[in-house]
Amino acid sequence: MNNPKPTPKLPNKKDGDSKTPKQPTFKRSNIWAWGAIAVITAVLLFGSNQFLPEQKTTSLKYSGSENSFISKVQNDQVASAIYEPTSGNISGKLTEEFKGTKLFRTDGPLNNLPERELKLFEKHNVTFSYKKAQSNFFLNFLPFLLPILLLVGVFTYLSRRAQGQMGSVMNIGRSKAKIYSTENPQTTFEDVAGYSAVKQEISEVVDFLKNPAKFRDIGARIPRGVLLVGPPGTGKTLIARAVAGEAGVPFISVTGSDFMEMFVGVGASRVRDLFATAKKSAPAIIFIDEIDSIGRKRGAGMGGGHDEREQTLNQMLSEMDGFEPTEGIVMMAATNRPDILDSALLRPGRFDRQIVVPLPTQEERAQILKVHFEGKKILPEVSLETLSRATPGMSGAELSNLVNEAALHAVRRGKSSIEKQDFNTAIDRVLMGLRRPSIMMNDHEKKLTAYHEGGHAILAYLCKNADPVHKVTILPTGMALGMTQQLPLEERHSYNRNYLEDQLMVLLGGRGAERVVFDNVSTGAHNDLVRATEIAHSMVKEWGMSDTVGPMAWGDSNMVFLGDDMMQSKAYSDDTARTLDVEAQGILVKAESRVTKILNEFAKGLEAIGNELVEKEEISGEDVARLVDEAMGRECANSVSAIDITV
């Protein structure tokens, strides 16, 4: 059912919702900030002469060598000298070039020069002067400037962050819907396998969106809302996308949970924004997935309803069919819980058309499997018809998972293509669970499990109205130690009393085999008893299949919703409840007595199946038929029925 070809989601650029990366833009405030930083840096670096570029100088020792400063003064090689008392630095010019330079520098004594050296400078005609140390205001202020800049940066960061949060708060009421353009989605009805009746019924919506004038001329009004109802995985969302692809109009998709936030009134605001966006793009389709999250009954529950959810629902009801009509907008929604939706949401003028998307039939399952077979290496021995018959009750999503499981199993086996064995293993994996080889049963448990499953298998083979046996195994799988798998010859949509009574006998066959062979019972029949009890209670309370109770339905199929109807009294008295329980118990006891009688009669066939399972651990339905017929010396298929057996 599901389309295996993923469709990319492109935003509607017309509505300004494009996600194309934009070129970074610099704000005016950022330019001024960077300019100020550049000016301050230049002042700090070039505000002092010590950072200015200087000519190449020669470093000299002050005294003590032939090339020292004092020696050059004595040799009349120094033209001028400048002395800085605070640092002791002496710089100046030489009378002759020294290694290609005329400038020199040396480190003299601090504070002042000795008197004899001053006289030496005067004697050798050295132009001598003092230099006063100059202070740089910016360098002196730098230790105080750095903390100030740090504080300013912190406050700026916090301010921008607060502005961003305020901006997100101001935009919290905007809808989170995703808008798809007319070119996307490209899904059409051809991509939806099966469901011809659903596609035919919903094609009116497509026709209206394509040719609205044809309906207006005759005075017809197309349904404003279409509610897709069905079990999970049947492809409701895919059908909605196919409608948008067929109609060629913008498709606005949103989930019900996107309307709910911690702030009161946000949901209603997002609904208003959603419809405002749809009106700009009209004609358009609004699709709300899982609408039951916001469309539940108002005022339900012992303590009242959820105020925010109810406000959101009220706004949606007003937008769909309120004072201002909405033209050119078709609402589509999907849910698998239509029973909990508010009645105002389902009235004519809103979601006035409900389209059921049921589980696919056998023919539709074959079409869905054919879609999922595309692009996979599958051997011709794999039959679509057989595979569709072996997967009753599976949705499109489950069929897709089944094909993928078969492919994974083929890879594990090192095969280059998918074989029939891979699909059989995948069916067992999906229906029964993962095989657990770590569980080791002792000989008694293995024999007990073999006869238990043999009881199910022989009853399914003998009963006229039971589904035929496909496979029997005593290998631990899923939560069970063994499994008997039945496959119906054809799909059933209703069940008569004969089928249900034979089904009860098959379910109780495992427990009956334990009592006949071992004169004891075990916990292995727990799931069988649960299913049998449910069937017996439904036969009595809901389906009127009890002669004592008569044609009355005492069951209540409505689910309790947030306390709704919790305080109401039962529809029947305690005496009637006791009668219903006694009658259901009688059906189960009678079925168990019939099982015991049949197993005693066909004890040889049961023993043959049990021994074969102990030896091989897994047999097919054909093996069950062969073993029973050989043990009894005649063909025994469909030889008994619950209605023919008297106890």
- Residue 607, judged by CB atoms within 10 A of its CB (0-12, 13-18, 19+), counts as middle
- List 117, 310, 319, 453, catalytic entry: 453
The encoded tokens of residue 510 equal 């495992």
Buried b (16+ CB within 10 A) or exposed e, 250-286: bbbbbbbebbbbeeeebbbbbbbbbbebbeebebbbb
- DSSP at 7: -
3-state secondary structure at position 574: helix
Nearest to 266 by CA among 308, 206, 233: 308
Taking the C-alpha atoms of 39, 41, 44 and 47 in order, what is their torsion angle to the nearest 10 degrees?
A: -50
H or E element at residue 275: helix 266-280
Place of tokens 């399914």: 460
| H-state helical runs in 374-484 | 384-389, 396-412, 420-431, 443-462
Sign of CA dihedral 614, 480, 457, 591: positive
448, 524 in Cβ contact below 8 A? yes
Give the count of beta carbons closer than 10 Å to the beta carbon of residue 479. Answer: 9
Dist CA 267 CA 279 (whole Å): 19
User: Is 615 an annotated catalytic residue?
Assistant: no
- DSSP at 558: P
The encoded tokens of residue 171 equal 């935009």
The encoded tokens of residue 206 equal 């497509």
Dist CA 406 CA 421 (whole Å): 9
Catalytic center residues: 453
